[in-house]
């Protein structure tokens, strides 16, 4: 996880967040559609790919700053990307479960894995997958999942 893939939550402490608090990531997609600026797609891709990495899983529990393990399914709002509380805290999490759950759910429901603009023959992947045009005339894609985790994909065309 690169620091640029996190959302700056606090400029004083440089703490970062795994998603957007009280706002759907879909707002970034709307900004792209309104402006055509690809940087919004890049930001959305960073956030969409980062969010699942902060969920504590049964097979990959997340150890927090005080040594406890987050419960499976939990994620916390603060990811320590700086050393403002000491170098040993970099990359650490606090304990608790809060708004990132909603951010993750909204991201799953509202942000499709692949965004396709058939008219302009453009596509963008937001999930941990890669895609490229296999046949533009038939509007078919070659989709690969380079990730070790299996998943179900969602896509849209327009």
Q: Say if residues 40 and 29 touch (Cβ distance below 8 Å).
A: yes
Question: Of 77, 92, 111, which closes a domain?
Answer: 111
Give the pLDDT confidence of 46-76 residue by residue, as tens digits: 888 888 888 889 999 988 888 889 889 888 8
The answer on 88 and 116 residing in a single domain is no
Residues 122, 105, single domain; the answer is no
Q: Is 86 left (phi over 0), alpha (psi -120 to 50) or beta?
A: left
pLDDT at 36 over 80: yes
- The verdict on 95 and 69 lying in the same domain is yes
**pTM greater than the 0.75 cutoff:** no
Which structural domain, as residue segments, surrounds residue 126? Answer: 112-158
- The contacts of residue 150 (CB under 8 Å, 6+ apart) are none
Domain identity same for 143 and 118: yes
pLDDT score, position 153: 55
Mean pLDDT of the chain: 79
Last residue of a domain, one of 111, 127, 150: 111
Query: How many domains does one find in the chain?
Result: 2
For residues 107 and 122, state if they share a domain: no
- pLDDT by residue (tens digit) across 89-136? 777 777 777 788 888 888 888 998 898 888 888 889 988 788 998 887
């Amino acid at each position: 996880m690169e620091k640029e893939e996190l959302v700056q939550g606090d400029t004083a402490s440089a703490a970062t967040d795994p998603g957007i608090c009280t706002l759907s990531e879909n707002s970034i997609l709307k900004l792209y559609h309104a402006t055509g600026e690809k940087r919004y797609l890049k930001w959305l891709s960073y956030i969409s790919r980062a969010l699942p990495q902060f969920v504590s899983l049964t097979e990959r529990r997340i150890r927090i700053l005080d040594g406890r393990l987050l419960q499976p399914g939990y994620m916390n709002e603060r990811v320590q990307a700086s050393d403002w509380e000491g170098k040993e805290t970099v990359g650490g999490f606090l304990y608790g479960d809060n708004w990132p759950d909603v951010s993750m759910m909204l991201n799953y429901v509202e942000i499709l894995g692949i965004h396709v603009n058939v008219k302009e023959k453009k596509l963008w992947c937001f999930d941990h997958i890669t895609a490229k045009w296999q046949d533009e005339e038939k509007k078919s894609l070659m989709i690969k999942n380079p990730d070790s985790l299996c998943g179900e994909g969602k896509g849209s065309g327009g």
